[in-house]
Amino acid sequence: MCGRYTLAVEYEELIEAFGVPFNPHLAEVYRPRYNIAPTDGVLILREKQHLPELIPARFGLVNHWAKDLSGAARQLNARAETVREKPAFRDAFVSRRCVVPANGFYEWQGEGKAKVPFWLHPPNEKFCDWRDSMKRGAIRSRALR
């Protein structure tokens, strides 16, 4: 389960990797980050008129039935086996998919307050490349898990 992740690359590397046009506003506000937490502002990649687009978003899924944004911190991870059936993720999986650029994520080990974070990241790549569980190759979007 991924609760925090990293996107520690320069803006130019990000737009080059995903074939996104330069956006002067995003270039000005973007900074590499090593500790992206639930509800933080992030950049996501979506398709708009068949072209990739980087846009600001909030880390966490806010369901259509939510009365406010507080639930976003709880809706972070979808299980590949049930994402199509679970009400929390079903609609977003079908019609509101995106790519969450990342180059690592944290997992904690230990008991109680003595947990230690471990940064998991690809050793020789700029970005993580999660593959779908059916081994069909890279997928265009996914929930972190």
Catalytic sites, residue numbers: 2, 107
**CA of 30: how far to CAs of 10, 25, 33, 74, in Å?**
8, 9, 9, 25
How many other CB atoms are found less than 10 A from the CB of residue 85? 10
The 3-state DSSP class for residue 27 equals helix
First-last CA distance in the chain: 5
Please, are residues 142 and 74 in contact by the beta-carbon 8 Å criterion?
Answer: no
